Amino acid sequence: MRRRSAGPVGAARRTGPGDEERTPGAAPAPAGDWLTLGRDGRLSLYVPTDGGLVRWTETAVGGPEWSGPHFVPVKGLTHLTVVQGSDTYVHFLGRRERERSDGRTGVDVVHAIQYQTGLAFTEWRSLGNPHRDPEQGRDLGRPLGAVAADGTVHVFVPNAHGGLALRREAPNGKWRAWEDLRGAGVDAPPACVSLAGGRLEVCAATESGVLLWRQTAPGGDFEGPQGLALRPVPGTVTALETAPERATYFWTDTGNGGVGAWREGDWPVSLGGAPTGEPCARLRTVVDGYDSVVLAGRDRDGSAVLGVGGTENEAAGFWWYALGEPCQGVPALARDGHGRVVMALVGGDGAPRVARQGAAGGLSLGRWESLGH
CATH of the domain at 104: 2.120.10.10
Domain count, the chain: 1
Show the CA angle centred on residue 3, arms to residues 301 and 334, nearest 5°: 60
- Check residue 56 and give its pLDDT: 97
- Check residue 187 and give its pLDDT: 87
When pLDDT is cut at 50, 70 and 90, the band that residue 15 belongs to is: very low
Give residue-wise pLDDT tens across range 88-113.
999 999 999 998 888 889 999 999 99
- Check residue 2 and give its pLDDT: 31
Ramachandran bin of 350, using left for φ above 0, alpha for ψ from -120 to 50, beta for the remaining angles: left
Task: Calculate the alpha carbon distances from 125 to 110, 128, 144 in Å.
Answer: 5, 9, 16
- Check residue 373 and give its pLDDT: 52
Task: Calculate the alpha carbon distances from 251 to 151, 259, 270, 342 in Å.
Answer: 27, 5, 10, 22
Q: Is 9 a residue whose pLDDT tops 50? A: no
- Which of 129, 241, 127, 251 has the alpha carbon at shortest distance from 188? 251
Contact status, residue 146 vs residue 192, Cβ threshold 8 Å: yes
- Check residue 168 and give its pLDDT: 98
Q: Is 10 a residue whose pLDDT tops 60? A: no
Q: Is 115 a residue whose pLDDT tops 90? A: yes
Q: Is 26 a residue whose pLDDT tops 90? A: no
pTM (predicted TM-score):
0.91
Non-local CB neighbours of 135 within 8 Å, separated by 6+ positions = none
- Which long-range contacts does 213-219 make (Cβ < 8 Å, 24+ apart)? 213/164, 213/181, 213/183, 218/148, 218/149, 218/150, 219/148, 219/150, 219/152, 219/171
Strand partners, 125: 111
Q: Is 292 a residue whose pLDDT tops 80? A: yes
- Check residue 27 and give its pLDDT: 58
Cα distance between residue 93 and residue 105, in whole Å: 19
Cα distance between residue 3 and residue 151, in whole Å: 35
DSSP 264: T
- Check residue 277 and give its pLDDT: 83
Domain that residue 152 falls in: 4-17+19-370
